[in-house]
Amino acid sequence: MRNIAPFQEKQRVRLAAVHALLFMGMLLPAYGQPVPFTGNYFFKNYDKGAYKAHSQNWDLHQDTTTGFLYIGNNQGLLSFDGTRWQTYLLPSRLPVRAVLSDHQGKVYVGGYEEFGFFEVAKTGALEYISLSDSLPQKIANNEEIWQIIRQDSTVHFQSFTAIYEYKDGQLTTHKGPSYLLYLMSNQGQLAVHLQNMGLYAYKNGDYQLMEGGSTFKNSRVIAWFNFGANEMVGTTLDGLFKKAGKIWGSWNCEASEFLRKNQLNRSVQLSDTTMMFGTIKDGAIVVNQKGQILEHLNMSQGINNNTILSMLLDVDRNVWLGLDNGLTYVKTHSPFRYIADISGQLGASYDATLFGPYLYIGTNHGLFYTAASQNQTSKNNFTFVEGTQGQVWDLSIHDQQLFCGHNNGTFIIDQPGEAPRWTSPVAGGWNLQPINSDWMVQGTYVGLAFYRKNERGQWNFSHHAQGLQEPIRFVAVHSQEVLWASHNQKGVYKVIMEANRPQLKRVVYYGKEDGFPEDYNIHVFTIRGRIVFTTSAGIYTYDEINDEIVPFEKINEQLANYQGFYRIIEIERHQYWFISSDRAHLFQIDSEFNLSEMSSFMTPSDLIIENYENISTLGHLASLTMDNGLVLFSNESLSHQSEAIPRIQLTQVVAETGNARRNYQLSTDSTQVHSLKANQNNLHFTFTNASYDALPQFYQVRLKGLEQDWSAPQSIGHQSYNNLPPGTYEFYVRVASAPLSQKLLYQFRIQKPWYLTNWALAAYVALLLGLLKVSLLLHSAHLQKQKKELESEKQQELQHLKILSEQKIMSLEKERLEQEVLHKSHEIGTSALRLANKNQLLESLKEGILQIKKAPDTQKAAIAKLVRLIDSNLNSNDDWLLFETNFNHINSKFYEHLSEKYPHLSSNDLRFCAFLKMNLSTKELSALLNVSVRSLELKRYRLRKKLELSHEENLTDFLLSISS
Angle between helix 907-917 and 933-947 (nearest 10): 100
CA atoms within 13 A on the CB side of 748: 30
Mean pLDDT of all residues in 510-521: 93
Alpha helices (H) along 854-902: 860-874, 878-890, 894-901
With a cut of 90, say whether residue 934 has pLDDT above it: no
**Residues 725-760 pLDDT 10s:** 999 999 999 988 777 788 999 999 999 888 888 888
pLDDT (0 to 100) of residue 365 = 94
Q: pTM (2 decimals)? A: 0.71
Q: What's the mean pLDDT when you consider all of the chain?
A: 84
Of all helices (H) and strands (E), which one includes residue 474? strand 472-477
317 versus 1: the higher-pLDDT residue is: 317
560: pLDDT strictly greater than 80: yes
First-residue to last-residue Cα distance in the chain: 132
Which residues, 6 or more positions from 778, have their beta carbon under 8 angstroms from its beta carbon? none
DSSP three-state, residue 646: coil
Mean pLDDT within 817-834 = 59
Query: What pLDDT, on a 0 to 100 scale, did the predictor assign at position 929?
Result: 74
Per the DSSP assignment, residues forming a β-bridge with 532 are 525, 541
Backbone angles phi, psi at 797, to 5 degrees: -65, -40
Q: How far apart are CA 466 and CA 504, in angstroms?
A: 7
pLDDT > 70? residue 874:
no
Residue 427 and residue 414 in contact, taking contact as beta carbons nearer than 8 Å: no
The pLDDT score that the predictor gives to residue 858 is 59
CA gap 43, 328 in Å, rounded:
7
For residue 846, pLDDT beyond 90: no
Amino acid at 840: Q
What is residue 602's predicted lDDT score, i.e. its pLDDT? 77
The answer to whether 454 touches 412, Cβ cutoff 8 Å, is no
Share of the chain above pLDDT 70, in %: 85
914 band by pLDDT with thresholds 50, 70 and 90: confident
Reduced to 3 states (helix: H, G, I; strand: E, B; else coil), residue 637 is helix
| Between 822 and 237, the higher pLDDT residue | 237
Average pLDDT over every residue of 785-803: 78
Which letter does DSSP use for residue 160 in this model?
S
At 805 the pLDDT is: 76
Mean pLDDT of 98-109: 91
Let me know: does 271 contact 314? Beta carbons within 8 Å: no
**If you ran DSSP here, which 8-state letter would residue 915 be given?**
H
Distance (Å, rounded) from C-alpha 230 to C-alpha 186?
Answer: 13
Contact (Cβ atoms closer than 8 angstroms) between residue 217 and residue 198: yes
Query: Is the pLDDT reported for residue 533 higher than 50?
Result: yes
Confidence band of 83 (pLDDT split at 50, 70, 90): confident
- The stretch 305-332 carries a mean pLDDT of 94
For residues 486 and 500, the answer to whether their CB atoms sit within 8 Å is no
Reduced to 3 states (helix: H, G, I; strand: E, B; else coil), residue 403 is strand
Q: Identify whether the C-beta of residue 447 lies closer than 8 Å to the C-beta of residue 470.
A: yes
Q: Looking at residue 22, what is its pLDDT?
A: 33
**Residue 813 pLDDT greater than 80, yes or no:** no
pLDDT band at 882; cut points 50, 70, 90: low
Beta bridge mates, 285:
277, 296
By the 10 Å C-beta count (0-12 exposed, 13-18 middle, 19+ buried), 125 is classed as middle
CA angle 16, 20, 23 (to 5 degrees): 135
pLDDT band at 35 (very low <50, low <70, confident <90, very high): very low
Task: Work out the pLDDT band at 2, boundaries 50, 70, 90.
Answer: very low
Q: What is the pLDDT of residue 746?
A: 94
Q: What is the pLDDT of residues 692-730, one digit of tens each?
A: 865 567 899 999 999 999 998 888 889 999 999 999 999
Question: pLDDT at residue 783 above 60?
Answer: yes
Q: Strands of 682-689's sheet, edge to edge?
A: 663-666, 648-656, 682-689, 718-721
- What average pLDDT does the segment 894-902 reach? 81
Question: Which pLDDT score is estimated for 512?
Answer: 93
More confident residue, 210 or 645: 210
pLDDT at 3: 35
Which three-class secondary structure state does DSSP give residue 258?
A: helix
Contact between 451 and 463 under an 8 Å Cβ cutoff? The reply is no
Confidence band, pLDDT 50/70/90 cuts, at residue 350: very high
Q: For residues 334 and 644, what is the distance between their CA atoms, to the nearest angstrom?
A: 12
Q: Name, of 419-433, 832-846, 943-957, the range with top average pLDDT.
A: 419-433
Q: Which pLDDT score is estimated for 123?
A: 73
pLDDT range class, residue 32, cuts 50, 70, 90: very low
How many C-alpha atoms does 381 have within 13 Å on its Cβ side?
8
The total of other beta-carbon atoms located within 10 Å of residue 91's CB is 11
> Any bridge partners for residue 700, and if so which?
734
- Burial profile 643-672: b = 16 or more Cβ within 10 angstroms, e = fewer: bbebbbbbbbbbbbeeeeeeeeebebebee
Residue 472: is its pLDDT beyond 80? yes
| Helix H or strand E segment including 522 | none
Confidence of residue 832 (pLDDT cuts 50, 70, 90): low
Separation of alpha carbons 525 and 308, rounded Å: 50
- What's the distance, CA 308 to chain centroid? 43
Torsion, CA 927, CA 929, CA 932, CA 938, rounded to 10: -140
pLDDT of the residue at 27: 32
Residue 913: per-residue pLDDT: 84
- Listed in sequence order, the residues at least 6 apart from 576 whose beta carbon sits closer than 8 Å to its beta carbon are 527, 568, 569, 570, 586, 587, 589
Q: Which amino acid is residue 482, in one-letter code?
A: V
pLDDT of 878: 61
Supply the angle between the helices 878-890 and 894-901 in degrees, to the nearest 10: 90
> Is 525's pLDDT higher than 90?
yes
pLDDT, residue 927, reads: 74
The H or E element that residue 741 is part of is strand 738-750
What pLDDT sits at residue 353? 94
Q: Calculate helix-pair angle for 922-929, 758-853, nearest 10 degrees.
A: 70
Q: Is the pLDDT of residue 776 over 90?
A: no
Predicted local confidence at residue 4, as pLDDT:
31
Query: Does residue 19 carry a pLDDT above 50?
Result: no
Residue of 118, 127, 134, 137 lying closest to 171 (CA atoms): 134
Give the pLDDT band of residue 605 (cuts 50, 70, 90). low
Q: 67 phi and psi, to 5 degrees?
A: 85, 0
Cis peptide before 517 (omega within 30 of 0): no
The span from the CA of 284 to the CA of 262, in Å, is 10
Q: Which helix (H) or strand (E) holds 563?
A: none
pLDDT value for 877: 58
> Which of 691, 770, 793 has its CA nearest to residue 737?
691
Q: What is the tally of helices (H) and strands (E) in the chain?
A: 13, 64
Greater model confidence, 835 or 904: 904
- Whether 24 shows a pLDDT value over 50: the answer reads no
Asked whether residue 162 carries a pLDDT value surpassing 90, the answer given is yes
> Which of the given ranges, 122-131, 647-656, 799-808, 830-839, has the highest pLDDT on average?
647-656
Between these two residues, 363 and 869, which has the higher pLDDT value?
A: 363
- 646-678 per-position pLDDT tens digit: 889 898 899 988 665 678 888 888 889 999 998
| Residue among 656, 739, 651 nearest 690 (CA) | 651
**pLDDT value for 327:** 96
* pLDDT tens profile 391-448: 999 999 999 999 999 999 999 999 998 999 999 999 999 999 999 999 999 999 999 9
What's the rounded mean pLDDT across residues 302-319? 93
> What's the full length of the chain, in residues?
964
- pLDDT of res. 115: 95
Tell me the HSE value of 595 on the side-chain side, using a 13 A CA sphere.
19
When mean pLDDT is compared across 231-245, 470-484, 845-859, 892-906, the lowest value belongs to: 845-859
Of 125, 482, 45, 97, the C-alpha closest to 305 is 45
- Report strand pairing: 673-676 vs 738-750: parallel
Q: What share of the chain is helix, strand, coil (3-state, %, to 5)?
A: 25, 40, 35
d(CA 106, CA 526): 58
Look at residue 651 in the predicted model and tell me its pLDDT.
86
Burial class (CB in 10 A: 0-12, 13-18, 19+), 463: middle
Reduced to 3 states (helix: H, G, I; strand: E, B; else coil), residue 484 is strand
pLDDT at site 857: 62
195, 191, 260, 198: which is closest to 226 by C-alpha? Answer: 191
DSSP, res 711: P
Residue-wise pLDDT for 164-198, tens only, equals 999 999 999 999 999 999 999 999 999 999 999 99
Find, among 92, 143, 75, the residue nearest to 113 by Cα: 143
Phi, psi dihedral angles at 215 (to 5 degrees): -60, -25
Question: Any idea what the Cα angle at residue 798 is, between residues 797 and 800, rounded to 5°?
Answer: 60
pLDDT of amino acid 795: 77
| pLDDT, position 409 | 95
3-state secondary structure of 146: strand
Asked if the model's pLDDT at residue 112 lies above 80, the reply is yes
What does R_g of the chain's alpha carbons equal in angstroms?
63
